């Protein structure tokens, strides 16, 4: 449903962040994007919804090239792509409900949104999603009154308000504690499975990535150096992506995990296929 062909990004400073990335994501497929800091992971997912302008290449979403779009065409394309951020990116001074409804802005006229008179179907959807992410009754709280995990849940619900086909998830757990990280990852995976959403998840934590995400893409210096199943990520692959290091501690943890939960992995792979 999403295919990237020869995607390149050169920043005005001259840095080449992406050197011709090609990638295909199937409908309902959830993939993890790993790689060292500065490898271009954030740039890559921001190129998909054109928050960053790619310098060259094709971004095809369900057959349509997004690269040349502008104005209302671009806004319509963006409605189909939900985004979840590392630092949540909620508007802190607005209520939880307003943050959720802001996911509908692409479908709503200016004056309607100015007076906050959103369509009643949108409001009903917002309440339903609030319940789904476990925040029932929080609609009138201000976003800055929530904890990190709660904020990320609001961020997830906002992205789903768009009724997207694809989710772009940028380091969803980097600002969260380990337990909350796992809960948030599980929530994202479950929601994608429920709604048949495809997703690209940028993630630093290799162990978390290989546990939850069936397909892993490794990015190094703006190029794809690994694209395969999570089970294939071993000492050699990690060295290819991140460079030389003693990976035994991490590979052992990944092995233990695979031994402990083959059922979960198999289930995820079925969903991905």
Partner 1 sequence: MTGAAALAPATWKRPPLIADARLRWALCLGAAAYLVIGIGSLEVNWARLADGFERGGRFVLAFLQPDFTTRWDDIRRGFVESLTMTVTSTAIGVLLSIPVAIGAASNLAPRWIYSLCRGFVAVSRTLNEIIVAILLVAMFGFGPFAGFLTLTFATIGFMAKLLAEDIEEIAPDQLDALRATGAGFLQQLDFGVLSQVMPRLIGLSMYRLDINFRESAVIGIVGAGGVGDTLNTAMDRYEYDSAAAVILIIIAIVFAAEYSSGWLRKRIQ
* Residues contributing to the site for partner 1 (CB under 8 A): 46, 49, 51, 75-79, 81-83, 85, 87, 89-94, 98, 102-108, 110, 113-114, 155, 158, 161-162, 168
Q: CA 183, CA 137: separation in Å to the nearest integer?
A: 20
**Looking at beta carbons only, is 83 or 206 nearer to partner 1?**
83
- Angle at the Cα of 254 from the Cα atoms of 250 and 258, rounded to 5 degrees: 170
**Looking at beta carbons only, is 151 or 220 nearer to partner 1?**
151
Quote the least distance from Cβ 163 to partner 1, whole Å: 11
Quote the least distance from Cβ 74 to partner 1, whole Å: 8
Q: Hey, what's the torsion of the CAs at 217, 219, 223, 229, to 10 degrees?
A: -20
Quote the least distance from Cβ 148 to partner 1, whole Å: 14
- The token pair at 56 is 């060259």
**Looking at beta carbons only, is 111 or 179 nearer to partner 1?**
111
Q: CA 20, CA 208: separation in Å to the nearest integer?
A: 27
Q: CA 159, CA 79: separation in Å to the nearest integer?
A: 9
Quote the least distance from Cβ 245 to partner 1, whole Å: 30
Task: Name the nearest CA neighbour of 153 among 126, 176, 130, 171.
Answer: 130
**Looking at beta carbons only, is 49 or 251 nearer to partner 1?**
49
Q: Are 241 and 34 in contact (CB under 8 A)?
A: yes
- Please report which helix (H) or strand (E) contains residue 31, including its range: strand 30-34
Taking each helix axis from N to C end, the angle separating 148-161 and 120-132, rounded to the nearest 10 degrees, works out to 140
**Looking at beta carbons only, is 92 or 234 nearer to partner 1?**
92
HSE, side-chain direction, 13 A CA sphere, residue 194: 12
**Looking at beta carbons only, is 1 or 69 nearer to partner 1?**
69
Quote the least distance from Cβ 49 to partner 1, whole Å: 5
Local structure of 50: helix, strand or coil: coil
Quote the least distance from Cβ 84 to partner 1, whole Å: 9
Q: Name residue, tokens 């190094």.
A: 220
**Looking at beta carbons only, is 4 or 81 nearer to partner 1?**
81
Quote the least distance from Cβ 178 to partner 1, whole Å: 23
Q: CA 230, CA 29: separation in Å to the nearest integer?
A: 13
């Amino acid at each position: 449903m999403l295919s990237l062909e020869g995607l390149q990004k050169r920043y005005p400073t001259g840095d080449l962040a992406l050197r011709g990335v090609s990638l295909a994501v199937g409908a309902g497929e959830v993939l993890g994007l790993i790689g060292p800091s500065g490898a271009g992971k954030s740039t890559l997912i921001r190129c998909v919804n054109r928050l960053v302008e790619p310098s060259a290449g094709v971004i095809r979403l369900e057959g349509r090239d997004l690269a040349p779009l502008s104005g209302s065409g671009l806004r319509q394309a963006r409605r189909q792509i939900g985004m979840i951020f590392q630092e949540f990116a909620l508007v802190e001074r607005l209520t939880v409900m307003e943050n959720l409804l802001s996911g509908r802005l692409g479908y709503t006229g200016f004056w309607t949104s100015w007076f906050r008179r959103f369509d009643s179907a949108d409001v009903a959807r917002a309440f339903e999603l609030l319940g789904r992410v476990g925040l029932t009754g929080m609609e009138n709280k201000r976003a800055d009154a929530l904890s990190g995990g709660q904020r990320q849940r609001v961020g997830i619900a906002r992205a789903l308000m768009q009724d997207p086909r694809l989710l772009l998830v940028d380091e969803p757990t980097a600002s969260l504690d380990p337990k909350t990280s796992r809960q948030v990852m599980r929530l994202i995976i479950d929601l994608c499975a429920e709604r048949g959403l495809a997703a690209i998840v940028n993630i630093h934590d290799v162990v978390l990535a290989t546990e939850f995400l069936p397909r892993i893409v490794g990015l190094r210096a703006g190029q794809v150096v690994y694209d395969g199943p999570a089970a294939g990520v071993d000492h050699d692959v990690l060295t290819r992506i991140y460079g030389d290091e003693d990976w035994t501690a991490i590979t052992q943890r990944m092995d233990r995990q695979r031994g402990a939960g083959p059922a979960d992995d198999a289930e995820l792979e079925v969903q991905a296929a």
